[in-house]
Structure 1
Amino acid sequence: MNRYLILCVDDEREVLDSVIQDLSELSSHFDIEATESVSEAEEVLAESIAQGVPLALALCDHIMPGRTGVDFLLQLGANESTQSCRKVLLTGQAGLEETVQALNHESLDYYIAKPWDGKALKQVVIQQLSQFIIASEQQLMPWLQVLDAEMLMAAMNDRRLSLNFDEF
C-alpha cells in the first residue's frame, strides 16, 4: 500500500493542532504534516515528493502572511505532480472573488468555514481522500478501514462490472 501526504496549512498554531487532532485517526494510512505558512508547506511538499510520498490532500487557510491559501491551491492545481490531490479551503475569511477564482480554475474541491465541527471536518476529509484513492489506487481493500467504505465498495463494484463488460 502506498503512503500519501495530508498537508495542513494555517498560520495559527492552535488551529493546526486542532485540525491534526481531528484527523489523527487517519495517521495509520497517511502522513499528516502541519505547516504555518505557504513557504513552509512548499518545503515539506518538496521533501515528501522527493521521498516518493505524493500529496493526497491539502487543507489550507486563506489569509496568511506572504501568500494566500487560494494562491497555494491554484499552484497545486497547476503543478503536474500535485494537480490530482484534493484541495480543501478551511477559512473564515476567504472572499467570494478568491473562492470563485479557485473553483473556476478547478483548484478547490471543498470549502469549510471556520469555526468548524471536528466530526464534519473529518467526514469531509475522508470523502475527499476516498475520491483521491479511488482515482489513484488499483487496490482499494487496504483503505476500507480508514476511508469511506461505501464509496470504496461502490468503486470496486464498478471496476468489477467494467472488467466483466470488457470480456464481451
Structure 2
Amino acid sequence: MNRICILSVEDEPEVRQAITRDLEGFSKLFRIEVAEDVEDAKEVIESIDGDGDQVGVILCDHRLPGTTGVEFLIELESEENHSGIRKVLVTGQADQQDTIRAINTGGLDHYVAKPWQAEVLQGIVKDQLTEFILAKDLDPIPFLSMLDDPRLLERVARGSRID
C-alpha cells in the first residue's frame, strides 16, 4: 500500500519541530514531511508523488517567505491531481480576508491558531485524515487503530471498496 503523507509547511524551525513532535504518533501509519516555504513544499510534493505516495493533509502557515500559505492552498486546489488534499491553515497572522479567500477559493478545511495545544492539533489531523480516507474510498481497515474508528467502521459495515 502506498503511504499517505502529512505535509507541514512552516518557515520557523522551532514551529516546524513542534508540529513534527506533536504529530510523531501518526508516523506509524503515515509519512510525515516538512517544508520551509512554498517552493520547498512543491519539491516535497513532487517527491511524494514520485514515490507513489499521496499527500492527505497539508498543515500550512500563512506568512511564508515569497508566496503566502493561502496563495499556495489556492494553487493546490486548482490542480486536479491535488484537489482532494485536506488543507489546514496553522497561523497566528492570517487576517479575516485571507482566511475567507482560503475557505472560498483554496478549499480550506480547518483553521488552527498559533499557539495550539498538541491534543487539539492531533485531533484535527486525525479528523482530516479520516475525511481524506473516506473521500478517496480507501480501505479503512488499516487505519482503524489510529483514526476516527466509528466513521471508518461505518464505511466497513456499508461495504467499502477494498484496494
Provide the residue aligned with 1:129 in structure 2.
129
Aligned partner of residue 154 in structure 1, secondary structure: helix
Give 1:19-30 correspondences, 5 Å limit: 19-30=19-30
2:55 corresponds in structure 1 to 55
State the shift of 1:155 in Å: 2.5
Contact 2:2–2:54 (CA under 8 A) maintained in structure 1: no
Consecutive unaligned residues of structure 2, counting only runs of 5 or more, are none
In the alignment, structure 1 residue 156 sits paired with structure 2 residue 156:
yes
RMSD in angstroms over aligned alpha carbons?
A: 1.5
Deviation at 1:154, TM superposition (A): 2.2
Q: Percent identity?
A: 42
What 5-or-longer segments of structure 1 have no aligned partner? 164-168
SS in 2 for 1:133: helix
Separation in 2, partners of 1:48, 1:138: 18
Q: Is the 8 A contact 2:73 2:106 kept in 1?
A: no
Equivalences for residues 39-54 of structure 1 within 5 A: 39-54=39-54
For residue 97 of structure 2, what is the aligned residue in structure 1? 97
Provide the residue aligned with 2:66 in structure 1: 66
Deviation at residue 111 of structure 1 after TM alignment: 0.3
Structure 2: which amino acid aligns with 1:39?
Answer: E
The runs of at least 4 aligned residues of structure 1 exceeding 6 Å deviation read none
2:20 partner letter: I
- TM-score, with structure 1 as normaliser: 0.91
| Residue 153 of structure 1, CA deviation | 1.3
